[in-house]
Amino acid sequence: MKDWKKIIREFFFPPHCLICGEVLALEERGEKLCPKCLAHIPFLTGDQCAQCGRTIPGKATCHRCMLEDFPFSRGAAAFSYEVMRKPIACFKFQGYRYDGAELGGLMARYLKERFPDWIEWTDMMAAVPLHPRKRKKRGFNQADLLCRKISAETGMVYVPDLLRRVIHTRPQSSLNAAQRRENLKDAFALAPGAQVEGRHILLVDDIFTTGSTLRECSRVLLRLGAAEVRVFCLSVVEDFQSV
Protein backbone atom coordinates (compact mmCIF):
# COMPACT_ATOMS: atom_id res chain seq x y z
CA MET A 1 0.00 0.00 0.00
CA LYS A 2 1.38 3.38 -1.00
CA ASP A 3 2.15 5.95 1.64
CA TRP A 4 0.05 8.79 0.22
CA LYS A 5 1.08 11.21 2.94
CA LYS A 6 4.73 10.66 2.00
CA ILE A 7 3.94 11.04 -1.72
CA ILE A 8 2.11 14.32 -1.13
CA ARG A 9 4.82 15.60 1.20
CA GLU A 10 7.56 14.83 -1.32
CA PHE A 11 5.54 16.55 -4.06
CA PHE A 12 5.41 19.83 -2.12
CA PHE A 13 8.77 19.39 -0.35
CA PRO A 14 11.06 17.43 -2.70
CA PRO A 15 13.76 15.40 -0.90
CA HIS A 16 16.91 17.46 -0.78
CA CYS A 17 20.40 17.22 0.61
CA LEU A 18 20.22 18.20 4.27
CA ILE A 19 23.43 20.20 4.04
CA CYS A 20 23.73 21.88 0.65
CA GLY A 21 20.02 21.82 -0.22
CA GLU A 22 20.42 20.20 -3.63
CA VAL A 23 17.35 18.22 -4.74
CA LEU A 24 18.25 14.53 -4.57
CA ALA A 25 17.96 12.14 -7.49
CA LEU A 26 15.65 9.17 -6.92
CA GLU A 27 18.54 6.78 -6.31
CA GLU A 28 20.05 9.14 -3.70
CA ARG A 29 16.97 9.69 -1.53
CA GLY A 30 17.71 6.92 0.91
CA GLU A 31 20.88 8.69 2.07
CA LYS A 32 19.41 12.18 2.75
CA LEU A 33 22.72 13.66 1.60
CA CYS A 34 24.02 14.28 -1.93
CA PRO A 35 27.10 12.25 -2.96
CA LYS A 36 29.40 15.24 -2.39
CA CYS A 37 28.21 15.96 1.15
CA LEU A 38 28.00 12.26 1.98
CA ALA A 39 31.64 11.83 0.97
CA HIS A 40 32.72 14.74 3.15
CA ILE A 41 30.26 15.76 5.88
CA PRO A 42 31.41 19.27 6.90
CA PHE A 43 31.54 18.58 10.62
CA LEU A 44 33.58 20.97 12.76
CA THR A 45 36.94 19.34 13.45
CA GLY A 46 40.35 20.27 14.78
CA ASP A 47 40.85 22.74 17.62
CA GLN A 48 37.60 24.15 18.96
CA CYS A 49 36.54 26.43 21.79
CA ALA A 50 35.66 24.31 24.81
CA GLN A 51 32.69 26.57 25.60
CA CYS A 52 30.94 27.22 22.28
CA GLY A 53 32.59 24.83 19.83
CA ARG A 54 33.70 27.39 17.25
CA THR A 55 36.99 26.82 15.43
CA ILE A 56 39.98 28.39 17.22
CA PRO A 57 43.27 26.80 16.13
CA GLY A 58 45.74 26.45 18.97
CA LYS A 59 43.49 27.75 21.77
CA ALA A 60 41.29 26.16 24.44
CA THR A 61 38.74 28.98 24.72
CA CYS A 62 37.87 31.66 22.19
CA HIS A 63 38.15 35.35 23.06
CA ARG A 64 34.39 35.75 22.91
CA CYS A 65 33.77 33.09 25.55
CA MET A 66 36.62 34.30 27.76
CA LEU A 67 34.65 37.53 28.24
CA GLU A 68 31.45 35.73 29.20
CA ASP A 69 30.26 34.22 32.48
CA PHE A 70 28.80 31.01 31.11
CA PRO A 71 27.66 28.68 33.91
CA PHE A 72 27.81 25.57 31.73
CA SER A 73 31.15 23.80 31.90
CA ARG A 74 31.60 22.66 28.28
CA GLY A 75 30.07 23.27 24.89
CA ALA A 76 30.22 21.71 21.44
CA ALA A 77 28.63 22.18 18.02
CA ALA A 78 28.52 19.81 15.09
CA PHE A 79 28.59 22.39 12.29
CA SER A 80 29.38 26.00 11.54
CA TYR A 81 26.19 28.08 11.23
CA GLU A 82 27.64 29.55 8.05
CA VAL A 83 27.37 26.06 6.52
CA MET A 84 23.99 25.19 8.03
CA ARG A 85 22.18 28.53 7.76
CA LYS A 86 19.90 27.51 4.88
CA PRO A 87 19.15 23.97 6.18
CA ILE A 88 18.21 25.39 9.59
CA ALA A 89 15.96 28.02 8.02
CA CYS A 90 14.20 25.33 5.95
CA PHE A 91 13.84 23.11 9.02
CA LYS A 92 12.40 25.81 11.29
CA PHE A 93 10.50 28.15 9.02
CA GLN A 94 9.76 26.56 5.64
CA GLY A 95 7.91 23.37 6.50
CA TYR A 96 10.78 20.88 6.54
CA ARG A 97 10.13 19.67 10.10
CA TYR A 98 10.87 16.11 9.00
CA ASP A 99 14.50 17.18 8.60
CA GLY A 100 14.69 17.28 12.40
CA ALA A 101 15.27 13.55 12.72
CA GLU A 102 17.96 13.57 10.05
CA LEU A 103 19.75 16.58 11.51
CA GLY A 104 19.52 15.00 14.96
CA GLY A 105 21.03 11.87 13.46
CA LEU A 106 24.00 13.87 12.22
CA MET A 107 24.39 15.38 15.70
CA ALA A 108 24.34 11.90 17.23
CA ARG A 109 26.97 10.72 14.76
CA TYR A 110 29.17 13.71 15.58
CA LEU A 111 28.80 13.09 19.30
CA LYS A 112 29.74 9.41 18.95
CA GLU A 113 32.75 10.20 16.78
CA ARG A 114 34.03 13.34 18.49
CA PHE A 115 32.78 13.23 22.11
CA PRO A 116 31.87 9.63 22.97
CA ASP A 117 32.67 10.26 26.65
CA TRP A 118 29.84 12.82 26.77
CA ILE A 119 27.35 10.04 26.13
CA GLU A 120 28.52 8.19 29.24
CA TRP A 121 28.69 11.43 31.22
CA THR A 122 25.10 12.47 30.49
CA ASP A 123 22.36 11.54 32.98
CA MET A 124 19.67 13.32 30.97
CA MET A 125 19.22 15.55 27.94
CA ALA A 126 17.10 18.69 27.96
CA ALA A 127 15.90 20.78 25.01
CA VAL A 128 15.95 24.57 25.06
CA PRO A 129 12.21 25.34 25.21
CA LEU A 130 9.98 27.60 23.15
CA HIS A 131 7.22 29.68 24.69
CA PRO A 132 3.86 27.87 24.23
CA ARG A 133 2.61 30.66 21.96
CA LYS A 134 5.60 30.34 19.65
CA ARG A 135 5.53 26.54 19.74
CA LYS A 136 1.86 26.55 18.75
CA LYS A 137 2.53 28.91 15.85
CA ARG A 138 5.51 26.87 14.56
CA GLY A 139 3.95 23.51 15.34
CA PHE A 140 7.02 22.04 17.01
CA ASN A 141 10.13 22.84 19.00
CA GLN A 142 13.19 22.24 16.83
CA ALA A 143 15.41 21.37 19.80
CA ASP A 144 12.88 18.76 20.92
CA LEU A 145 13.01 17.00 17.54
CA LEU A 146 16.81 17.02 17.60
CA CYS A 147 16.86 15.56 21.12
CA ARG A 148 14.48 12.73 20.26
CA LYS A 149 16.73 11.50 17.46
CA ILE A 150 19.95 11.94 19.45
CA SER A 151 18.41 9.91 22.25
CA ALA A 152 17.30 7.16 19.85
CA GLU A 153 20.78 6.95 18.31
CA THR A 154 22.87 7.14 21.49
CA GLY A 155 20.66 5.71 24.25
CA MET A 156 20.94 8.89 26.31
CA VAL A 157 17.87 9.65 28.42
CA TYR A 158 15.84 12.57 27.08
CA VAL A 159 13.34 14.32 29.35
CA PRO A 160 10.90 16.32 27.18
CA ASP A 161 9.76 19.66 28.57
CA LEU A 162 12.21 19.55 31.48
CA LEU A 163 12.49 23.30 31.05
CA ARG A 164 9.66 25.75 30.33
CA ARG A 165 9.76 29.18 28.75
CA VAL A 166 7.47 31.20 30.99
CA ILE A 167 7.88 34.65 29.42
CA HIS A 168 7.15 35.38 25.77
CA THR A 169 10.25 37.41 24.90
CA ARG A 170 11.23 39.36 21.81
CA PRO A 171 13.03 37.30 19.12
CA GLN A 172 16.70 37.02 20.03
CA SER A 173 17.75 37.45 16.40
CA SER A 174 16.59 41.09 16.50
CA LEU A 175 18.78 42.01 19.50
CA ASN A 176 22.44 42.66 20.24
CA ALA A 177 24.36 40.68 22.87
CA ALA A 178 23.51 42.96 25.82
CA GLN A 179 19.85 43.13 24.84
CA ARG A 180 19.70 39.33 24.49
CA ARG A 181 20.85 38.87 28.09
CA GLU A 182 18.31 41.35 29.44
CA ASN A 183 15.55 39.95 27.24
CA LEU A 184 15.90 36.48 28.75
CA LYS A 185 15.99 37.43 32.42
CA ASP A 186 13.65 35.09 34.36
CA ALA A 187 12.30 33.71 31.08
CA PHE A 188 12.87 30.03 31.97
CA ALA A 189 11.75 27.70 34.75
CA LEU A 190 11.96 24.03 35.64
CA ALA A 191 8.84 21.98 34.95
CA PRO A 192 6.75 21.27 38.08
CA GLY A 193 7.94 18.11 39.80
CA ALA A 194 11.08 17.77 37.69
CA GLN A 195 14.13 16.41 39.51
CA VAL A 196 17.62 17.55 38.48
CA GLU A 197 19.54 17.35 41.77
CA GLY A 198 22.98 15.84 41.27
CA ARG A 199 22.38 15.17 37.57
CA HIS A 200 24.73 15.75 34.65
CA ILE A 201 22.59 17.46 32.02
CA LEU A 202 23.26 17.90 28.31
CA LEU A 203 21.35 20.96 27.06
CA VAL A 204 20.54 20.89 23.33
CA ASP A 205 19.68 23.66 20.86
CA ASP A 206 19.97 24.33 17.15
CA ILE A 207 22.21 27.44 17.14
CA PHE A 208 24.84 28.85 19.50
CA THR A 209 24.93 32.57 18.73
CA THR A 210 25.90 34.62 21.80
CA GLY A 211 25.03 31.84 24.24
CA SER A 212 22.50 33.99 26.13
CA THR A 213 19.68 31.44 25.92
CA LEU A 214 21.94 28.56 26.91
CA ARG A 215 23.31 30.63 29.78
CA GLU A 216 19.89 31.32 31.27
CA CYS A 217 18.68 27.73 30.86
CA SER A 218 21.87 26.45 32.49
CA ARG A 219 21.48 28.83 35.41
CA VAL A 220 18.00 27.50 36.14
CA LEU A 221 19.23 23.89 36.11
CA LEU A 222 22.27 24.60 38.29
CA ARG A 223 20.34 26.80 40.72
CA LEU A 224 17.95 23.90 41.31
CA GLY A 225 20.70 21.40 42.00
CA ALA A 226 22.10 20.01 38.75
CA ALA A 227 25.68 18.83 39.27
CA GLU A 228 26.94 20.06 35.89
CA VAL A 229 25.55 21.29 32.57
CA ARG A 230 27.11 20.97 29.13
CA VAL A 231 25.63 22.30 25.90
CA PHE A 232 25.48 20.70 22.47
CA CYS A 233 24.22 22.56 19.41
CA LEU A 234 23.62 21.67 15.81
CA SER A 235 25.62 24.76 14.79
CA VAL A 236 27.66 27.64 16.14
CA VAL A 237 27.97 31.13 14.67
CA GLU A 238 31.61 31.72 13.78
CA ASP A 239 31.12 34.95 11.84
CA PHE A 240 28.67 37.38 13.46
CA GLN A 241 28.25 39.22 10.18
CA SER A 242 26.39 36.16 8.88
CA VAL A 243 23.63 36.41 11.51
pLDDT in tens, 89-144: 988 887 678 889 999 999 999 999 999 999 999 999 999 999 889 889 888 999 99
Q: What is the CATH number of the domain that holds 206?
A: 3.40.50
Rounded CA-CA distance 177/32 in Å is 35
Whether 28 is covered by a domain: the verdict is no
Residue 76 within any structural domain of the chain: yes
Residue 224 in this model has a pLDDT that exceeds 70:
yes
Task: Give 73's Cβ-side CA count (13 Å radius).
Answer: 13
In a domain, 128, yes or no: yes
Q: Say if 237 falls within a structural domain.
A: yes
Question: Is residue 21 one of the residues assigned to a domain?
Answer: no
Task: Give how many domains the chain has, as a whole number.
Answer: 1
Do the domain assignments include residue 27? no
Q: Is residue 225 part of a domain?
A: yes
pTM given for the model: 0.88
5-9, 159-163, 216-220, 232-236, range with the lowest pLDDT: 5-9
- What domain range includes position 143? 41-242
